[in-house]
Structure 1
Amino acid sequence: MTHEIIMAGFGGQGVMLMGQLLTYAGMIDNKQVSWIPSYGPEMRGGTANCSVIISGEPIGAPIVSEPNLVIAMNLPSLDKFEPQLQSGGILIINSSLIERGADRTDVTAYQVPANEIAAEIGNTKTANMVMLGAIIGAAEVVTTDAVLKAFAKMFAKKPELVAINEIAIRRGIKYIKDGN
C-alpha cells in the first residue's frame, strides 16, 4: 500500500522532524520513501508542512496533492488540508490546539490531545512524537520498531532524549488503539 501523507502545523511544533522520522523509519522497513518540506516565510510561528510518501512500490512523483492521511497540529492546517484528504482517508487532529473535529463524514478522524499527553509524561516538547505514534496507531504506515530505531539513530548524540520520546510515541499509539 502507498501512504501519501501531509503533516502540518506552526513552525516550531516539530512537523518536519515527524516527517523525517517517518521517512527514515520507512527506509528501515525497506519501503520506498519521499519527503518534501514546505515552510512559510517565518521560521517559528509561521506555517510548516511536509509531504511524505511511503510505499512498497517505486514512487513516480514526490508530490502529494490528494493525501490519504493528514496530520493537523493547528487550526489553519486543518482548514487548509482537510478538504484535500481523499474520501476514506485518515485525519489526525491535535485536539489540544484545535477545538473542532472533522467537518467531513467520509473520512476517519481521530482527535488526539497531544499537548496534554506530552505534559502528562513530563515534556511538552514531545507533542509531535505523540502525533507520530498516533499515525502508527491509526495507519500502521511503518513499524513501531523502525520509528524507534530511526529516532535513536537521528538523536545518537543526544541519547537523553530517546527514552522520553519513546514514551511519547508509545502513548500516541496507545491513545489510538485504546481510545485514550
Structure 2
Amino acid sequence: MADIMFAGIGGQGVLTAAKILIEIAAEHGKNVSWTSEYSAEMRGGIALCRVVVSDEEIGSPYPDYLDVLCCMNEDAYDKYVSDMREGGCVIINRSVFGEKQFPKNVKVYGVDAMEIALELENQRGLNLVVLGAMIRATGMMDVNEFADTLEAYFNKKGKASDKNVQCFMMGYEKAEKMQ
C-alpha cells in the first residue's frame, strides 16, 4: 500500500496527476482512493490530492503519514514534508526550488519539470513529468505498462498527443536521487 500526496498550486495539474495515477492503477488491478482539496481560485490557489494505491482493501483515504509526496512547488514541500513516514519518498519539481536541507529520514528525488515540459513544447505536461519521476522513485508500477496505459488514457479523453507520454518518460529518465 502507498499513501501518496500531490501538492502545489492550481494550474499545475495537481488534481489531474492524481486522477491519472488512480485510473491507471485501477486498470492494473489496484484498489485506489482519492480525496482532494483546493481553494476557490481557479489558478494560483492551493491544490492537493491524497491518493491511496493498494493491493488490499483500503481502510481510510486519510493516512496519518505519507509514503510519497510529490511537490509541484516549494511551499507544498515546506507545508507537508513533516507528514512523511520514515523512509518515505519525496519528489520535487526542482524548477521552482531554492537550496534546501532535506530531512535525513526520507529519500528525495528531483526533476526539472518545468524545463522538460517547455523543452517538449507541452507546458501543461509539468504534472506528467513529476508523475514519471514518481514512478521511477517508487517503482510502484512498470514504467512501460504505465506509459502505454497513459497513452490510452489520453486517447480515450480525445486528447491524444505524443508529447504527453514524452513528458512522462522524460520525467522518469531525468529524475535524480538527491538524497
* CA deviation profile, 1:49-107 (whole Å, cap 9, x unmatched): 00000011110111133101001111210111111111110011111011133531111
Shift of the alpha carbon at 1:150? Answer: 4.3
Which amino acid in the other structure matches residue 68 of structure 1? D
Correspondence 1:152-167 to 2 at 5 A: 152-161=152-161, 163-167=162-166
Correspondence 1:26-175 to 2 at 5 A: 26-144=25-143, 145-161=145-161, 163-175=162-174
Distance 1:113 1:39, change over 3 A: same
- The runs of 5 or more residues in structure 1 that have no matched partner are none
CA contact (8 A) 1:7 1:19 kept: yes
- The runs of 5 or more residues in structure 2 that have no matched partner are none
Distance 1:141 1:4, change over 3 A: same
- Range with greater deviation from structure 2 (99-108 or 73-82): 99-108
Shift of the alpha carbon at 1:151? Answer: 4.8
Query: Equivalent residue of 1:103, what SS?
Result: coil
The runs of at least 4 aligned residues of structure 1 exceeding 3 Å deviation read none
Distance 1:157 1:109, change over 3 A: closer
CA contact (8 A) 1:19 1:50 kept: yes
The aligned length equals 177
Q: Among the aligned pairs, what percent are the same residue? A: 32
Shift of the alpha carbon at 1:42? Answer: 1.7
State the Cα RMSD in Å.
1.9
Give the structure-2-normalised TM-score. 0.91
